[in-house]
Chains A and B, each alone.
Chain A
Amino acid sequence: MLKLLKYDWKHSAAFLLGVLAIVVIMQAALTITALARDWDEIVVYALGTMIYSLAAILTVGQCCKNYDLSLRDYHRRLLPTYPLQSVGAVMILSLLCVAVISIIALIHNFIYFDSMGRELADIVDLESLSLSNVLSITASYLWSVATLVITVLAAVTISRSIHAKMRVWIGIFSFFTLGMLLSWIENVLFGSVDGMFGIVSVQMTSTAAEGTIQLPASLQTEIAAGPLLVEVVFAAALLYLIHYLVSKKIDI
């Protein structure tokens, strides 16, 4: 799998590094423009977040394109590897891309808050920011990305297993159907829970009146075992589907 990852990286390195370079340039341009024109900090923060999100989507999209390549290119399909090794390579590269962009975004936000004369302690009660809380939120974030990537790869595999001109649309339809199916199952089983962030329940509490939050707020997290179990089963089912379709149905 690591060898596949190596070649996925070599294939996409120019694009992925290009996206990262453009993100850094755009964020610098945004900050300079905002300071020069005295823009509202909420607007700057929203635009900055949008740029990072777009970069994450583009990089994950490129990784998924690598997977599509591994289904249709002779030299990849001829390799004596298991179909799920390709999925694993794409997953690792996607998570690495998202992690790098997230780390850049975090550092940028710290610098930005610092330049505005703010500190993290103004937002969150630092005593409540324990290692387990941080790890829970990080794991939930990465798991959400992983689930999304598996869903995209399953949709790509479904579309490649169908010999029809409409297969791109069938892939897009499959992606949304699978996403909605997971949401529906979780909603039926567990209802809607306030403050859910992926598989973690995040509660911010403060001494302010009910319905409002006064910063700094105290942070509590709790792993939601039910949704986690459902998502693990869902991901395993999609991985089985991918393995079956690639092994039995997808011709070149």
Chain B
Amino acid sequence: MSDLLQLDGVSKSYGAKRALNSVSLTIGSGKIVGLLGSNGSGKSTLMKIAAGLIPNYEGHVWINGQPVGRTSRSLTSFMPDQPLTESWMRVKDAIAFYKDFYADFDTEKANDMLKFMRLERDARVSSLSKGMQKRLQLTLALSRNARLYLLDEPIGGVDPVARGKILDAIVEYYDENSSLLIATHLMQDIERIFDEVVFLKDGELILHEEVETIRANNGQSVDEKFKEVFDDA
């Protein structure tokens, strides 16, 4: 099984604040990995470095053997916690934008996902609710046939109905040949889909384990393990 994402001694500081401290991590293909940590633990920073949005860091990052850059951006599909659209766009314009720039964008899959997510093609992006915005973001990110998907807080700030729909979509439309890294601090609903979890605390990697191993060795759910690790702070 080849490594899709490799981080070697990655550190990042914002002024005096150390957001990531010498993080080394390897994620193979065909995995759904939860990147877990409390607010400010460095999850988003790690995601953005892997997505190529933060070029100024220490250490090395490879995506499918390629150093992070223009080429790796064509292999990586990132759903940030910020809009991926412009205010003038309708849903169909956002789909056209992705189709124009990403050779791996699957329009048929996008149309299926729009129906699944109950998104209207003619709806104005600016008029969508937060939950619907998240559904659109996920549609755009997962409609690419990328090797690595990076989802930053895909269920953060949305109601339980939208949350369920988003999780169903991830399971339904995820390509098993690629890998999925999901950053979140909301474990209860999402832990059922993880193969592995990575715990980040104050910018440091403190645990990288298979979910089955956590359950078998400790008899704990990921949520319980998370509370044990982070309540200790």
Q: Look across to chain A and name the residue whose beta carbon is closest to the beta carbon of B48.
A: A252
Q: Interface residue tally of chain A, by bracket?
A: 20 to 34
How far, in Å, is B151 (CB) from chain A's closest CB? 13
Determine the interface band of chain B, counting residues with CB < 8 A from chain A.
Answer: 20 to 34
Cα-based distance from A69 to B176 in the complex (angstroms): 35
State which of B14, B56, B78 has its C-beta within 8 Å of the C-beta of A78.
B78
Is B188 at the interface (CB under 8 A from chain A)?
no
Count A-B pairs with CB separation below 8 Å. 61
Establish whether residues A79 and B73, one from each chain, have CB atoms under 8 Å apart when the complex forms.
yes
Q: Across the interface, name the chain A residue whose C-beta is closest to B55.
A: A248
Complex CA gap A73/B89 in Å reads: 15
Inter-chain contact A78/B51, CB cutoff 8 Å: yes
Most interface-central of B51, B82, B101 (chain A CB within 10 A): B101
Inter-chain contact A3/B100, CB cutoff 8 Å: yes
- B44 to chain A: closest CB distance in Å? 10
Residue of B nearest to A7 (CB): B97
- Complex: A65 Cα to B1 Cα, angstroms: 45
Chain A proximity of B59: nearest CB distance (Å): 15
Q: Mark A213-247, 1 if CB is under 8 A from B, else 0.
A: 00000000000000000000000000000000001
- The interface bits of chain B over 66-98 (1 if a CB of A lies within 8 angstroms of the residue's CB, else 0) are 000111011000101011111010000100010
Residues in chain A within 8 A of chain B (CB atoms): 3, 6-7, 10-11, 14, 73-75, 77-82, 163, 247-252
Binding site for A on B (CB under 8 A): 14-15, 48, 51-56, 69-71, 73-74, 78, 80, 82-86, 88, 93, 97, 100-102
| Subset of 18 A-B contacts with CB under 8 Å | A10-B88, A14-B88, A73-B83, A74-B53, A74-B78, A75-B97, A78-B73, A78-B84, A80-B73, A80-B74, A81-B101, A82-B70, A163-B14, A249-B55, A250-B55, A251-B56, A252-B48, A252-B54
